[in-house]
Amino acid sequence: MAEEVLSYNKKRKHTKGDRVFTICNTVYMVLFLLVTLYPVLNTLAISFNDATDSLRGGIYLWPREFTLYNYQTVLSQQNLVTGLWISVARTVLGTVLGLLVTALLAFMCSRPKYLLKKQMNLFWVITMYVGGGLIPVFLLFKGLQLTNSFWVYIIPGLTGAFNLLVIRSYMEGLPVSLEESAQLDGAGYMTIFARITLPLCTPVLATVALFIAVGHWNSWFDAMLYNRMSPQYTTLQYELMKLLSAVTTMNSSSGATIDSMKSSANAVTPTSVRSAASIITMVPIVCLYPFLQRYFVTGMTLGAVKE
Amino acid sequence: MRPAKRLLALAVAASLMVTSMSACGAGGSDSTGSGAKTGSTGTSSVKQFKAFFTVAGTEINDDNEVQQKITDLIGAKCKETWLTGQSDTEAVGTMIAGGEYPDFIEGGGATNALVEAGALIELDNYIDKYPNIKNYFTQQQWDQLKAAHGGHIYYLPQFSVTHDKKTNTIHNDEAFWIQTRVLKWANYPKVTTMDQYFDLIERYLKANPTMKDGTKNIGYTTLTDGGKIFCLNNAPMFLDGYPNDGSCIVDPKTQKVIDYNTSDTAKLYFKKLNGEYKKGVVDPEAFTQKYDQYISKLSTGRVLGMIDQYWDFSSNVNASLKTQKLDEQGCEYVPLPITIKEGIHNQWHTTYSVMNVSSGVGITTSCQDVDGALKFINDLLSPEVVTLRNWGVKGVDYNEDANGMFTRTQAMRNKANDTKYKASHLCSYSYFPNYGGMLLDNKNAATPDEQISEFQSGLSQNMKDTLKAYGAKTFVDMIGDNDAPGAWYPLWTFANTLASDDPAKTASAKIDDTQHQYLPKICMASDFDSAWNSYMTAYKACKPENYFNAAQKEVTSRVNAAKKYETSSSASSK
């Protein structure tokens, strides 16, 4: 069948319509690329531009007054190293554990023979629309001894309804025969899960891993809410957020007014700090992406079953 | 096979991490709000406190140099944390829900909630033991503080005390601001009314449509972004010659609360803005722009004038103008004493040291060493520590001349403006009680900002010329100083003490919504009168009387509370 497709493609001539389509498609894709890339480059330029100069606006792709001071300010924030370590730890641990737990649960919920399948699925969907609210959740976590601990980052977020549904749908799309043939060979559910389902699910697992990892990496609100008084569990993003909000108030409080009238030296603004912090935050996730990308390919089941 | 193995390896790695994490957790455990922890290092034992303030602020480094100096002096230190990404009510709400607090807390707008939740310790019986705290307020102020919460003291307002005399250099509050180049161009005319102000801007704009580099000048801009709508809506109060009582005018003679939103002056003022908008003097984006857009606009030096509180724009804008050397082109702002018509005395600048009883730093029930905590505050108010907090270290952050006057070099000023240096070196414990006005040596101003010599040195030539032309040494001289009009002043402090379900609060929230909706419309309307009428209809539907009646009650009670001190002090002076 694959051969047929190939030969069909070969035989087809490139018609005028094809060419127009290719040109339009390329132009569209290039435009799309520019639209998504521009804000990033602009942020990069602002992060390297003198803060007070940036206030004037008009920075596009290239810094006007080059400086490293924005980065120096951000990187000299104390607790940044602790924050970085905790952020990395929660991202790695949270993603690995979260993926495992969610995949297991999805496996269970995707079994056609599972008695409570319908009810369980409904149960998960409900959590997508109804939340407990800030203070009840806080009280719950406090009751569970999760506040002022590292585990508040990991345990509550082990599974989420959305990711569960994504993985479950994918698993339901896998051919049932694969599972049946494994069962014939004497495999139990755990074996099927580990040896058949999981390997076939790599594309969806990679996708969900990216979701979870980005979520963990970016989150700061939980650090503030549950670990405000425990600086040893601070996260990178919370530290950056604190710096940003400090700079914002510093610049609008009366304290520095006279000084600012006379000296423009070494000042930062919320915009410059935000840009530098965004770039610092973005780099690790951008680096992660190429490694996950190779899993974003489908079609492993092709040819495994003949139906 | 291989993926499964890999998975196993990951799981093992994860479990290893788990164990190491939990070990870390146990080792570094430091339960929240545990109160003062006495860690003995060597011979001295340092008390460590934690504080949370419901305002955004700068967290200083743990090895901050001035903080270490203070710690060496008083044997205690405090780790301060600040509000991030939440409102004060939300932050305090979760703390109350959890029942865990730091040792010190400043509740801001949620102070009442803290008191009602029983989170703050009654300080009544402690105060007498600490002389610096005891003397910090006068008896009248203590009584006012008690009156705010049924006869008990739960917190200490930090910013209400002026030592010796108020030092005024900058006018940190609201005014009509104008660039020095406009005044210079017109040969420093006397500008006292709103019409003169807009007329001057209009003429300048006509003669100079662009800046030197060709960018277009903007005549006047304003701001309606969120709470910053004060830039637009409260001018009628000042234009009529009243000081800033917030959302209403209080007549000093009759002590009657007057609603300025509906006054004739308000109508005149908005009509003027409407007219100037049509003429193209008012920035077309004025009513839609966000705060950062506004700041970046001011930073280009294009805007000739606007109304704002100085603290709201000065820090960012001044630095930026300086960097671009726009101060040499006369793009810096000075305040003008504008009123609606001639013959009205302006009160843009009002000196007062009236107690703001609505919030302050309190000690929580989670604090295990209340006496230690109070001693900490007490020690922070000693002369030596006050100087360290406000000016920094002698020889490093300032020099002292033979007469005991403090001066700074330009290098010191630059450092004081450096973000990194502030975090690593300066420690003002800014949300603990402190003195305004003068230092306890009665020679120097409380902060470098307020020292006249500091203010004047390093001003740009344009600024010097302008101040000189108006016979002024400081910004305050430009618009004149006024005493507080009465015991109720400033009335805006009362808005925070309103409970959330109070009809007065509801009314004020509705007024706020209505103004956000209608004020931009009336300023840009083609038919001003009909737009004004529909605004008035919508405004009346907010039941503003609920708010103003409550304000009236507050004025009466504040005036009555002050009366007994007035008679006793006048008796003693006789």
Chain A residues closer than 8 Å to B58 by CB: 246-247, 249-250
Q: Looking at the whole model, is its pTM more than 0.80?
A: no
Instruction: For residue A42, give how far its alpha carbon lies from the nearest alpha carbon of chain B (Å).
Output: 16
What gap in Å lies between CA B98 and CA A136, rounded to an integer?
A: 10
Task: Give residue A294's pLDDT.
Answer: 75
Query: Where does the pLDDT of residue B274 fall: very low under 50, low under 70, confident under 90, or very high at 90 and above?
Result: very high
Task: Give residue A121's pLDDT.
Answer: 87
Task: Give residue B159's pLDDT.
Answer: 84
- Average pLDDT of the residues in B183-203: 95
Q: How far is CA A212 from CA A160, A198, A208, A236, B207, in A?
A: 9, 17, 6, 17, 60
Compare all CA atoms of chain B with the CA of A144 and give the residue at the minimum distance.
B98
Chain A residues closer than 8 Å to B292 by CB: 270-271
At B79, phi and psi to the nearest 5? -90, 120
Say yes or no for a CB contact (<8 Å) between B7 and A149.
Answer: no
Question: For chain A, what is the mean pLDDT?
Answer: 84
- Average pLDDT of the residues in B243-256: 91
Strand partners of residue B80: B51
Chain A residues closer than 8 Å to B457 by CB: 262
Best A229, A251, A269 residue to mutate vs chain B (most B CBs within 10 Å): A229
Task: Give residue B72's pLDDT.
Answer: 94
**DSSP line for A138-188:** HHHHHHTT-TTSGGGTTGGGS--HHHHHHHHHHHHTS-HHHHHHHHHTT--
Sign, CA torsion A169/A174/A179/A180: positive
Say yes or no for a CB contact (<8 Å) between B449 and A258.
Answer: yes
| Cβ partners under 8 Å of residue B421, min gap 6 | B415
A170: left (phi over 0), alpha (psi -120 to 50) or beta: alpha
B282: left (phi over 0), alpha (psi -120 to 50) or beta: beta
pLDDT digits (tens, 9 = 90+) for B303-355: 999 999 988 888 778 878 887 888 899 999 999 999 999 999 999 998 766 67
Say yes or no for a CB contact (<8 Å) between A245 and B28.
Answer: no
- Average pLDDT of the residues in B67-75: 95
3-state helix, strand, coil in chain A (%, to 5): 70, 0, 25
Chain B residues closer than 8 Å to A265 by CB: 414, 417-418
pLDDT digits (tens, 9 = 90+) for B3-58: 555 555 545 444 444 444 443 433 333 334 444 444 444 445 899 999 999 888 87
Query: Where does the pLDDT of residue B1 fall: very low under 50, low under 70, confident under 90, or very high at 90 and above?
Result: very low
Chain B residues closer than 8 Å to A247 by CB: 58, 419
The DSSP H or E segment spanning B48 is strand B44-53
Task: Give residue A266's pLDDT.
Answer: 55
| Cβ partners under 8 Å of residue B192, min gap 6 | B336, B337, B338, B339, B342, B346
Amino acid at the residue B63: D
Instruction: For residue B82, give how far its alpha carbon lies from the nearest alpha carbon of chain A (Å).
Output: 8
pLDDT digits (tens, 9 = 90+) for B350-367: 876 667 788 899 999 999
Q: What percent of chain A has pLDDT over 90?
A: 36
Compare all CA atoms of chain B with the CA of A221 and give the residue at the minimum distance.
B85
Question: For chain B, what is the mean pLDDT?
Answer: 86
Task: Give residue B541's pLDDT.
Answer: 94
Contacts 24+ apart (CB under 8 A), B294-300: B294/B221, B294/B223, B294/B225, B295/A55, B296/A55, B296/A56, B296/A57, B297/B218, B297/B221, B298/B221, B299/A52, B299/A55, B299/A56, B300/A56, B300/A57, B300/B215
Say yes or no for a CB contact (<8 Å) between B7 and A198.
Answer: yes
pLDDT digits (tens, 9 = 90+) for B547-569: 999 999 999 988 887 776 654 44
| Cβ partners under 8 Å of residue B75, min gap 6 | B44, B45, B46, B47
- Average pLDDT of the residues in B87-104: 89
Say yes or no for a CB contact (<8 Å) between A148 and B447.
Answer: no
ipTM over 0.90: no
Task: Give residue B39's pLDDT.
Answer: 43
If DSSP codes are grouped into helix, strand and coil, which group holds residue B455? helix
Say yes or no for a CB contact (<8 Å) between B98 and A138.
Answer: yes
Least confident of A65-79, A153-167, A239-253, B190-204: A239-253
Say yes or no for a CB contact (<8 Å) between B25 and A149.
Answer: yes
Instruction: For residue B418, give how far its alpha carbon lies from the nearest alpha carbon of chain A (Å).
Output: 5
Sign, CA torsion B90/B91/B92/B94: positive
Residue B139 clears pLDDT 80, i.e. is over it: yes
Q: What percent of chain B has pLDDT over 90?
A: 55
Residue A93 clears pLDDT 60, i.e. is over it: yes
Residue B190 clears pLDDT 50, i.e. is over it: yes
